[in-house]
Amino acid sequence: MKRPLALRLSALSAATALAAAAGIALTSPEATAATGGVTGYATQNGGTTGGAGGQRVRATTGTEIHAALCGRASSSTPIIIEVEGTINHGNTGKVSSGSCNTAAGVIELKQISNVTLVGVGAGAVFDQLGIHIRQSSNIIIQNVTVRNVKKSGSPTSNGGDAIGMESDVRNVWVDHATLEASGGESEGYDGLFDMKDNTQYVTLSYSVLRNSGRGGLIGSSESDLSNGYVTFHHNRYENIDSRAPLLRGGTAHAYNNHYVSLNESGINSRAGAKVKVDNNYFEDSKDVLGTFYTDQRGSWQVAGNVFDNVTWSSPGSENYPAGPNPQSTTTVNIPYAYTPDAAGCVPDVVRRTAGAGTGLQVSDGNCTPQTPAPDPSTPTTPPPTTPGPTEPGGANLSLGAGADGSSKADGTSYGNVRDGNLSTYWSPSGSTGSVSVKWGSATSVSRVVVREASGATGVVRAWRLLNADTGAVLATGTTAGTATFPQTSLKKITFEITSASGTPRVAEFETYAS
């Protein structure tokens, strides 16, 4: 029988109290993407680096996350999106461009690559809103909390999965995440970490999955066998009914995980799946390993695990538990190097390292948490949020040119952006929109300066600069100021605001030949 919702919620409260007693901060410290720390199967197939080397963008809403993706020069331009605050349905809208394909009500990482999504500052919480990865590759998600995503009831998001991957996904690393629900399918929730339809080379590390009917799966049905090569290590599965995880076909590796209160079943290897299960700690749980709910059996290799107060059911026609004395039924060759902690210290190490807001600590293989070295690409001091524009040389080509745009608020004019007067401005009718400067004949431009009006400095949060003749993206950014690009001959240039913290006010859109 599944635990009632009240028991699930009380378990969540107990876990919170335990964390507080242990001195673990429940709010996230400043963090950076430790891209060099990727482990497991995500190191294979060329490795997983996310947005390493790309532009860093700060986002406080789901719309700003989408705008950052859409503001890239292409769908594969590397980017690191630093997220702070609560992301929910009310602040997550669809943003469109040639470099993205997003949707409202879900964080959509679709048909893109080379992206890191990392929680920073006071923490990043995705509240009732899931993260959907589809037809994408080289993705890192780190130091975030995703909670209470529903597939039924209101509101719904991502099919009820906290993090879901499907349709030709490759190389994903999810690290130091907290994924939680407040019940099972009858309460409207689905899986916390699901992989379907040809998803491969994934690592889930140092994360907490709790208070859910379903921990996660690899393969949506007995015929969806194209998934696999997934590593689970140093995770805490707590108060999960089943699927910790469920594997349909494919190969997986589970080591140094702490499983507490698996209520019905745990690692469910079926339909030809193979899983290496080593140096884990199973506690106060039932049927933690085997093939369950089907006669299509899988296999496992076991070594060094601790089974603490684990009960086992009797074998049946669709029930093949590995215990009470689990033995290996296959051999799994692991292609990467790893140094596991001894199973006896796993509860303590995982308690101190797993989940969002634990300082991205990792184990050294000797049962001692370590703080990783900073990402060398991370600036030691944050850049100013509103840098002043660099004064260019030469004449401002916008003076005397024409102007138009996508919309304008009452009392504003497109022409105000090219009149040389900082006291007049253009505003879109909402928080996003575009304004253009145009000439009667082709004009060479290599630098623009966008000046926000007094009182509106820093309102623009993400933008693109377009060659309006061809639609090509000339530059992107996150604050107004100066942008340079290879000299381009054009008749019309467009400044497109894709995200803002309020109503933008653009006083001047200056253009220069050099």
| Residues 111/134, Cβ–Cβ less than 8 Å | yes
pLDDT in tens, 3-20: 443 334 443 333 333 333
Averaged pLDDT for residues 162-187: 97
pLDDT in tens, 327-336: 999 999 999 9
pLDDT in tens, 40-99: 999 999 999 999 999 999 999 999 999 999 999 999 999 999 999 999 999 999 998 888
| Rounded to 5°, angle at Cα 158 from 359 and 273 | 80
Round the average pLDDT of the chain to a whole number and report it: 88
**Annotated catalytic residue 243:** yes
List own/partner pairs for 13-20 with CB under 8 A and 24 or more apart. Answer: 15/210, 15/238, 18/351
Contacts of 201 (CB under 8 A, 6+ apart): 41, 42, 44, 45, 48, 170, 171, 172, 229, 230
pLDDT in tens, 350-401: 999 999 999 999 998 999 998 876 554 443 333 333 333 444 457 899 988 9
The per-residue DSSP string of 40-96 comes to: GGGGSTT---TTTTSEEEEESSHHHHHHHHHTSSSTTS-EEEEEEEEE-GGG----E
Rounded Cα gap, residues 142 and 357, in angstroms: 10
| Residues 35/49, Cβ–Cβ less than 8 Å | yes
Q: 36: how many CB neighbours lie within 10 A of its CB?
A: 13
**Is residue 249's pLDDT more than 50?**
yes
Active-site residue identified among 56, 58, 236, 243: 243
Averaged pLDDT for residues 407-417: 91
The pLDDT value given to residue 461: 79
Rounded Cα gap, residues 487 and 475, in angstroms: 12
Structure tokens at 426: 């253009």
**Is residue 35's pLDDT more than 50?**
no
Rounded Cα gap, residues 368 and 373, in angstroms: 15
Rounded Cα gap, residues 12 and 3, in angstroms: 13
pLDDT in tens, 429-469: 888 899 999 999 999 999 999 998 877 888 887 888 999 99
**Mean pLDDT highest for which of 227-236, 402-411, 446-455?**
227-236
Calculate what percentage of the chain has a pLDDT beyond 70: 89
The pLDDT value given to residue 105: 96
Q: Report how far apart, in Å, the C-alpha atoms of 399 and of each of 343, 384, 408, 483, 504 are.
A: 71, 29, 20, 18, 21
Rounded Cα gap, residues 178 and 228, in angstroms: 22
